[in-house]
Structure 1
């Protein structure tokens, strides 16, 4: 692999090269992750719709979203009828602090969720619902810090009638630390009434836990590297 090819391979932005029928000729590492949240036909259609009328390159600014991936623009280019390339400019969505792999302890995340639900249900009339993927293994977390984070998230939802906790793998998504790739899983806590005025404290606790959070009007999700060693 040439130095130029390595730049493409390790680019933060997905790059895909198609043949004229929409079959992938080549793609970089980030594009492989993207296709876990999208599909080849959709990306090819976007590329063909926004290609220049003549040979060459065309950049278009637009908002695109595929799962956790958000983009603010694309460049589409071709120099013959046989191949068409697209580069998608990514908006960073997850901000992980580098975890201390040897800190914390191996814990059962289901137990921590149940503990926090039990604690918060005492002071709330909300109905707590759970939708938990049973296949998440024990992971390395700082138990005290992580319980504080979950409790803080539940605390901003307590004025709702129902609070739903969903636990699931993020299929095809990974994060790298020290050249080692870790899968991701998510705890999503959703409700109809979230007090967004307390979101800054959630961000602070997430950083202390070396995890990423997404805070929306009706849910807060915690995205966690699957560290089992």
Structure 2
């Protein structure tokens, strides 16, 4: 792999090269993760829709969202009828307060399991777990975290199933005191959401150092501070 190819491979922004009939010829590492949230057909359709009328490159500013991915622009380019490429530019998916979180070193899985257990008592809801097992113990305010997570689960109480996903955010970091920290997320989702309790969640989160991303899914984004 040449130095130029490595730049493409490890770019934070997804890149995909298609054949004329929509078959993937090559893609970088970030695009492989993106394909977990969008189909090849959808990406190819997006590529052809925003391609220049004639050969060349065209950049379009457009807001797109696929799962946890959000984009603010894309570039489509082709030099012949055999291949066409697309690059999507990731928007900052969330902000965190500049103040470094304080608290105690905790096992995040234990706290999440505790909250799920609390809400499963006298409930017929099925709690599905999709956990990345590699998240280390981190420093957080466990009391506020439990309050927020319990409030999130209460937003989905009128459902048969609630899915909780814990995952590492590839390529995303935050700096505190000139030191860079990786980020992971706890994502809770279900079919129906209680909008009144969502407003209560927003008020609760505003008084903490946690950033909550509220869409159809609700996500807590946490820096991996281990000491």
- For the superposition of Structure 1 and Structure 2, which TM-score range results when normalised by the shorter chain? 0.5 to 0.7
Change (3 A) 1:128 1:170: same
**Superposed counterparts of 1:199-210, under 5 Å:** 199-207=198-206, 208-210=208-210
Match for residue 36 of structure 1?
Answer: 33
Q: Is the 8 A contact 1:105 1:141 kept in 2?
A: yes
Match for residue 170 of structure 2?
Answer: 172
Q: Is the 8 A contact 1:13 1:88 kept in 2?
A: no
1:184 aligns with 2:181: no
**Superposed counterparts of 1:68-217, under 5 Å:** 68-77=68-77, 86-101=86-101, 103-121=102-120, 125-133=123-131, 135=133, 136-158=135-157, 160-170=158-168, 172-177=170-175, 178=178, 180-188=180-188, 190-207=189-206, 208-216=208-216
Residue deviations 1:109-155 (CA, integer Å, cap 9, x gap): 22212332344445x53435241527133222111110110111122
Q: Is the 8 A contact 1:132 1:166 kept in 2?
A: yes
Q: Is the 8 A contact 1:72 1:91 kept in 2?
A: yes
Match for residue 4 of structure 2?
Answer: none
**Structure 1 spans left out of the alignment, 5+ residues:** 1-7, 25-30
Match for residue 3 of structure 2?
Answer: none
TM-score (norm 2): 0.65
Change (3 A) 1:68 1:17: closer
Q: Is the 8 A contact 1:38 1:66 kept in 2?
A: no
Aligned-partner SS, 2:144: helix
Q: Is the 8 A contact 1:58 1:75 kept in 2?
A: yes
Match for residue 51 of structure 2?
Answer: 51
Q: How many residue pairs align between the two structures?
A: 206
Aligned-partner SS, 2:54: coil
Change (3 A) 1:38 1:17: closer
What is the root-mean-square deviation of aligned Cα atoms in Å?
A: 4.1
TM-score (norm 1): 0.65
Q: Is the 8 A contact 1:132 1:168 kept in 2?
A: yes
Change (3 A) 1:125 1:72: same
Q: Is the 8 A contact 1:22 1:44 kept in 2?
A: no
